[in-house]
Amino acid sequence: MSALGVEAAQASASVLRPMRDADLDAVLAIEQRAYPFPWTRGIFRDCLKAGYPSWVLTEHGLVIGYGLLSIAADEAHVLNICVAPERQGRGLGRFLLRALVKIARGQAVQRVFLEVRPSNPGAIALYHSEGFNEIGRRPRYYPARDGREDALVMAIELVPDDITTMPRL
């Protein structure tokens, strides 16, 4: 996989490239600031070992966000998508999500799933605005300060790129 130049608004100096082991210190530093219940290094390492598509967004060589997917048959799952807190709200999360969906589409995926906390309205708004719909709930899926929190399950159906016009009758 090669690095991709980014033309996102506010991100002209940003580059998306595959995550590697050497990125994990920087990734964990963001993870621990961005989430109340962060992933451990072991989870990221397992994703890399499993060969899941794992990408970092960098600016001037520094990691400022990342996104990970798993793909099995024609279904993909967004496992993690995160932008460093001080860089949020500038279009980078949308850019990362679109990049993950594009990667999935490139592997003939038909449906992309993700889970999100109901207490994360910013992420939910992003997913809705990119065409994801709520398709269910996983009860008590996440750890939470006062016990457990449900997950909303969201999904998007991908229409093949070549079906852009209706066939002639």
Ligand X SMILES: CC(C)(COP(=O)(O)OP(=O)(O)OC[C@H]1O[C@@H](n2cnc3c(N)ncnc32)[C@H](O)[C@@H]1OP(=O)(O)O)[C@@H](O)C(=O)NCCC(=O)NCCS
Residues engaged in binding ligand X (CB under 6 A): 34-35, 81-83, 88-94, 116, 120-123, 125-126, 129
Joined together, the tokens standing for residue 40 give: 């451990």
CB of 36 to ligand X, least distance (A): 10
For residue 115, indicate whether it is catalytic.
yes
Tell whether residue 133 is among the known ligand binding residues: no
Q: Which is it for the CA torsion 85, 86, 90, 93, positive or negative?
A: negative
Type of residue numbered 54: S
Indicate the residue among 18 and 91 with the shorter CB distance to ligand X: 91
For residue 52, indicate whether it is catalytic.
no
Indicate the residue among 71 and 96 with the shorter CB distance to ligand X: 96
Distances (CA, A) of 4 to 16, 17, 18, 52, 70: 5, 6, 9, 18, 20
Annotated binding site for acetyl-CoA: 120
Residues at the binding site are: 120
